[in-house]
């Protein structure tokens, strides 16, 4: 499809993580990743009914909503945690990477000394890693190779919490406050096997730019994802037009990937919703309809302490992941 949409969709605004364990998610996002625990609220019956309809949940589902953010870095994504009393199974039992669905939340880290400090802090909080500090070979815009540093923290609900560092001649993957060793959420990832249809959704409906599309070969379980040596994955990065953070990562294992036997949406536990802001929700939904994208719920008018009054709709990507499109005067 040639041409770009006439409306604007912004970078990742919010990642939603469903859990049954509020203490564990607070330990990770607040104590480990130094995000501010800015709000917690029990949902009113009316608000819960509207959001249940929006997300296709059983009307009897109950939850408490928590928000984690970096107030000094408003451009980075927030993390919304839904503490559900009847949370479903984990999207990724055993942190199995080959299953489709939400995978991770990724944070920018300055470099190896800071990453070593992060690993030590995690150990002190009882949060381990899958393989310590690892490297992934990538290329600069000029084609020269470099090694990115990664550590894969074992976040609650089988979520990968990544710390990512780059060489000093490259900007970090997301902004980091002065005096801090780690930034806010710079990206989120999911596994989508045979990803072309989902790439087309983000590119042709939301107007995102595909900036990296390469095949990477796993070095084995020591690489942090538990993959067999020689496993090939297609590694894709998509950015909102003109942005440099709040991006999306997709891992595509093609025929070696596994369809997920459980729903990749709420109330399943883990990373289950991506939320994006837009200045014209109706135009986005019209465009989605032209491309055969299913609208799960909305548009509906909602209000929250951190987003104010807004209109929101939920659509399903071709692989069934839940995407919220949120229109607010603040965007």
Beta-bridge partner residues of 16: 80, 273
Among residues 147, 234, 157, 248, the alpha carbon closest in space to that of 206 is found at 248
Residue with tokens 């909080």, as numbered in its chain: 125
Q: How far apart are CA 185 and CA 196, in angstroms?
A: 25
User: Tens-digit pLDDT profile for the chain (331 aa)?
Assistant: 345 555 689 999 999 999 999 999 999 999 999 999 987 777 778 888 899 999 999 988 999 999 999 999 999 999 999 999 999 999 999 999 999 999 999 999 988 999 999 999 999 999 999 999 998 888 888 889 998 899 999 999 999 999 999 888 888 999 999 889 899 999 999 999 999 999 999 999 999 999 999 999 998 888 899 999 999 999 999 999 999 999 999 999 999 999 999 999 999 999 999 999 999 999 999 999 999 999 999 999 988 877 888 999 999 999 999 999 999 876 6
Q: Give the per-residue pLDDT at 6.
A: 57
Q: What is the CATH number of domain 14-327?
A: 3.10.180.10
- Residue 283: in which H helix or E strand, if any? helix 281-290
Q: Give the per-residue pLDDT at 39.
A: 75
Q: How far apart are CA 323 and CA 276, in angstroms?
A: 8
Cis peptide before 79, with omega less than 30 degrees from 0?
A: no
- Residue 50: in which H helix or E strand, if any? helix 45-55
Q: How far apart are CA 233 and CA 195, in angstroms?
A: 11
The answer to whether 180 and 155 have CB atoms below 8 angstroms apart is no
The answer to whether 59 and 50 have CB atoms below 8 angstroms apart is no
Q: What is the pTM of this model?
A: 0.94
The token pair that represents 52 in the structure block: 């249940």
Q: Other C-beta atoms within 10 Å of 138: how many? A: 16
The dihedral through the CA atoms of 222, 226, 231, 232 has a sign that is negative
Burial of 243: CB neighbours in 10 Å, binned 0-12, 13-18, 19+: middle
Give Cα separations from 287 to 7, 203, 253, 273, 282 (angstroms): 10, 12, 29, 20, 9
Q: How far is C-alpha 44 from the chain's CA centre?
A: 26
Per residue, what are the HEC states of 224-266?
CCCCCCCCEEEEEEEECCCCCCCEEEEEECHHHCECCCCCCCC
């Amino acid at each position: 499809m040639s041409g770009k949409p006439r409306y604007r969709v912004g970078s990742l605004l919010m990642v939603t993580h469903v859990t049954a364990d509020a203490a564990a998610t607070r330990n990770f996002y607040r104590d480990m990743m130094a995000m501010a625990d800015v709000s917690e609220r029990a949902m009113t019956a009316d608000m819960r009914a509207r959001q249940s309809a929006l997300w296709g949940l059983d009307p009897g589902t109950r939850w408490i909503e928590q928000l984690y953010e970096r107030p000094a870095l408003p451009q980075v994504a927030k993390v919304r945690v839904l503490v559900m009393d009847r949370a479903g199974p984990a999207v990724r039992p055993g942190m199995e990477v080959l299953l489709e669905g939400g995978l991770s939340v990724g944070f920018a880290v300055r470099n190896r000394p800071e990453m070593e400090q992060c690993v030590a802090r995690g150990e002190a909080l009882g949060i381990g890693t899958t393989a310590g500090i690892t490297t992934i070979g990538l290329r600069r815009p000029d084609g020269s190779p470099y090694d990115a540093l990664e550590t894969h923290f074992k976040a609650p609900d089988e979520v990968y919490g990544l710390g990512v560092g780059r060489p000093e001649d490259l900007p970090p993957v997301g902004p980091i406050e002065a005096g801090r060793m780690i930034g806010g959420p710079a990206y989120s990832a999911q596994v989508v096997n045979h990803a072309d249809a989902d790439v087309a959704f983000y590119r042709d409906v939301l107007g995102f730019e595909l900036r990296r599309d390469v095949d990477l070969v796993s070095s084995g379980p020591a690489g942090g994802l538990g993959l067999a040596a020689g496993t090939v994955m297609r590694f894709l990065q998509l950015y909102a037009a003109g942005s440099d953070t709040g991006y999306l990562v997709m891992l595509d294992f093609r025929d070696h990937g596994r369809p997920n036997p459980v729903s990749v949406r709420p109330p399943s536990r883990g990373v289950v919703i991506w939320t994006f802001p837009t200045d014209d929700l109706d135009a986005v939904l019209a465009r989605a309809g032209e491309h055969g994208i299913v609208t799960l719920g909305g548009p509906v008018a909602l209000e929250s302490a951190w987003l104010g009054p807004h209109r929101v709709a939920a659509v399903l990507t071709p692989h069934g992941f839940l995407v919220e499109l949120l229109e607010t005067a603040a965007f």
